[in-house]
Amino acid sequence: AQSVAQPEDQVNVAEGNPLTVKCTYSVSGNPYLFWYVQYPNRGLQFLLKYITGDNLVKGSYGFEAEFNKSQTSFHLKKPSALVSDSALYFCAVRTYYNQGGKLIFGQGTELSVKP
Amino acid sequence: ETGVTQSPTHLIKTRGQQVTLRCSSQSGHNTVSWYQQALGQGPQFIFQYYREEENGRGNFPPRFSGLQFPNYSSELNVNALELDDSALYLCASSLRLAGGQETQYFGPGTRLLVL
């Protein structure tokens, strides 16, 4: 069965410092991996995805993610955090169409960036 | 903004009632997925519709049903509401692509409270 794990419920970072939000996955076959961000009382906003190709994926708002097949990880990173990055972050893996094409989400990581 | 809209934004129902939630997909998208997000959890897949037919279903009982219309708008219907149905309901639209490279774009959600 496919699954996603986000080992940290909360990540605290000082503004200007680099941030990392961790994600590991378990899939059979090639993974389709996504990161979404959710602000309070809002839907999910797409940040970036990995389908194939370069292991370093660049996305919106200066975020990037590194796909590591040997460690089955897809960590979200940003070189310099902003207070406005404070939000709930979800990693997700998408199943193939014959399995419904659904997104399977991790439990989320609350990112708090302090001034 | 994703171009995906949902209505209503908030809803209060009592146990045993029925509810219909609506979603308008992003222009040109042919696939809609519905997710339930309980408080403090990641979204859980309910079902997906592709070209007006159910394409996949998560672990939800038959009292959760859906429709996708020719204009690719969609409804989620829940009968015999239970207290545990209280959650944020998210719809996501996407354009199915060969190779599975599509991205699901989420609406702002409908927050349902069942008393």
Q: Is A110 on the interface with B (CB under 8 A)?
A: no
Q: Which of B42, B56, B111 sits opposite A102 (nearest CB)?
A: B56
Q: How many CB atoms lie within 10 A of CB A26?
A: 13
Q: Which residue do the tokens 């994600």 mark? A: A23
- Do the Cβ atoms of A55 and A66 come closer than 8 Å? yes
Compare all CA atoms of chain B with the CA of A35 and give the residue at the minimum distance.
B103
A83 Cβ neighbours under 8 A, 6+ residues apart: A15, A113, A114, A115
- Report how far residue A93's alpha carbon sits from residue A34's, in angstroms, rounded to the nearest whole number: 6
Chain A CB contacts of B42 under 8 Å are: 90, 92, 105-108
How far CA B82 is from CA of A59, B88, B115, in Å, comes to 39, 14, 8
Closest CA to B36 of B12, B59, B18: B59
Question: For A27-48, how does the pLDDT look when each residue is reduced to its tens digit (9 = 90+)?
Answer: 887 889 999 999 987 889 999 9
Q: Helix (H, G, I), strand (E, B), or coil: what is residue B78?
A: strand
Task: Name which of A96, A104, A106 is nearest B100 (Cβ-Cβ).
Answer: A96
Strands A109-114 and A10-14: parallel
First to last CA, chain A: 41
State the average pLDDT for chain B.
93
pLDDT at A97: 63
Binding-face residues of B in 90-109 toward A, CB within 8 A:
90, 92, 96, 99-101, 103-109
CA A36/CA A91 separation, integer angstroms: 6
Residues of B in contact with A105 (CB under 8 A): 42-44
In the predicted structure, residue B13 carries a pLDDT above the cut 70: yes
Out of A49, A90, A104, closest to residue B103 by CB: A49
Supply φ then ψ for residue A98, to 5 degrees.
Answer: -75, -5
Task: Tell me how far apart the alpha carbons of residues A42 and B94 are, in angstroms, rounded to a whole number.
Answer: 19
CB B110 within 8 A of CB B88: yes
Cβ of A43 within 8 Å of Cβ of B107? The answer is: yes
What number is the average pLDDT over the span B8-15? 97
Could you report the per-residue pLDDT of B24-59, keeping only the tens digit for each? 998 889 899 999 999 989 999 999 998 899 988 999
pLDDT of residue A31: 85
B3 lies within 8 A of chain A by CB: no
Q: Chain A residue with minimal CA distance to B33? A: A102
- Amino acid, single-letter form, for residue A71: Q
Nearest in space to B43 (alpha carbons), one of A12, A44, A18: A44
A46 shares contact with chain B (CB less than 8 Å): yes
pLDDT, tens only, A54-103:
899 999 999 999 999 999 999 999 999 999 999 999 999 987 766 667 89
pLDDT attached to residue A71: 94
What's the pLDDT score for residue A66? 96
Paired tokens of B59: 């672990």
